[in-house]
Amino acid sequence: MVNQNTKLTNREKAAVLLIAAGKSHAAQIFKYLTEEEISTLTLAITTMSKVTKEERDAVVSEFYETCVAQKFISDGGLDYARSVLNKALGEAKAGEILNKLTETLQVRPFEFVRKADTMQIVHLVANENSQTVALLLSYMDPKKAAGVLAALPSEVQVDVVTRMANMESVIPEYIREAEMVFEQRLAQMGMSDQTAVGGIGAVVKVINNLDRGTEKYILESLDMLDAELAEEIKMKLFVFEDITKLSNQTIQMVLKQVDQADITIALKGATAEVKSFIMSNISKRLQEMINDDLAVMGPMKIRDVEAAQQRIVSTVRALEQSGEIIVMRGDDSDVLV
pLDDT in tens, 236-262: 777 788 888 888 888 999 999 999 999
Rounded distance between C-alpha atoms, residue 78 and residue 311, angstroms: 39
Q: Cα–Cα distances in Å, from 268 out to 198, 295, 304, 326?
A: 36, 10, 10, 28
Largest CA distance in the chain: 77
Phi and psi dihedrals of 283, rounded to 5? -65, 160
Q: Where are the alpha helices (DSSP H) in the chain?
A: 10-21, 23-30, 35-46, 53-76, 78-89, 91-104, 118-124, 130-139, 142-151, 154-166, 172-188, 200-207, 212-225, 227-236, 248-256, 260-268, 272-279, 284-296, 302-321
| Confidence at residue 191, expressed as pLDDT on a 0 to 100 scale | 56
| Distance separating alpha carbons of residues 202 and 208, to the nearest angstrom | 10
Tell me the C-alpha distance between 86 and 91, whole Å.
Answer: 5
The pLDDT score that the predictor gives to residue 336 is 39
- Identify the bridge partners of residue 196 per DSSP, sorted by sequence position: 169
Backbone angles phi, psi at 280, to 5 degrees: -75, -10
> What element of type H or E holds 196?
strand 195-196
In this prediction, the residues of the chain whose per-residue pLDDT falls under 70 are 1-7, 72-79, 100-108, 114-115, 190-198, 235, 326-337
Burial class for 49, CB neighbours closer than 10 Å (0-12, 13-18, 19+)? exposed
* Cα(129)–Cα(163) distance, integer angstroms: 11
Q: What is the pLDDT of residue 289?
A: 93
Distance CA 288, CA 290 (A): 6
